[in-house]
Amino acid sequence: MDCERVTELLMSSTYAIAFTGAGISTASGIPDFRGPNGLWRKYSPELASIEYFERNPKGFWDFYSLRMRGLFEAEPNKAHYALAELEKLGLIKAVITQNIDGLHQKAGSKNVIELHGTMRRCYCTNCGKSYDSKEVLKIIDQGISPPKCSCGGIIRPDVVLFGEPVKGIYEALNIAYDADLVLSIGSSLTVYPANLIPQVVKEHRGKLIIINMEETPLDEIADIVIRDRVEEVLPCIVENVKKLIG
Ligand code: NAD
Residue-range domains of the chain with CATH? 1-30+76-116+166-246 (3.40.50.1220), 31-73+119-159 (3.30.1600.10)
| Ligand 1 center from residue 39 Cα (angstroms) | 10
Pocket of ligand 1 from Cβ distances under 6 Å: 21-23, 25-27, 30, 32-35, 38-39, 98-101, 116, 186-188, 190-191, 212-214, 229-231
The fraction of the chain above a pLDDT of 90, given in percent, is 84
- Residue among 165, 166, 164, 161 nearest 60 (CA): 161
CA-nearest residue for atom 14, ligand 1, is 23
| Ligand 1 center from residue 129 Cα (angstroms) | 30
pLDDT for 36 beyond 80: no
CA 119 vs. chain centroid, Å, equals 11
- Catalytic (active site) residue 116: yes
Rounded distance between C-alpha atoms, residue 68 and residue 45, angstroms: 16
CA-nearest residue for atom 26, ligand 1, is 21
pLDDT for 1 beyond 70: no
Q: How confident is the model at residue 87 (pLDDT cuts 50, 70, 90)?
A: very high
Q: How confident is the model at residue 39 (pLDDT cuts 50, 70, 90)?
A: confident
Rounded distance between C-alpha atoms, residue 68 and residue 65, angstroms: 5
CA-nearest residue for atom 15, ligand 1, is 23
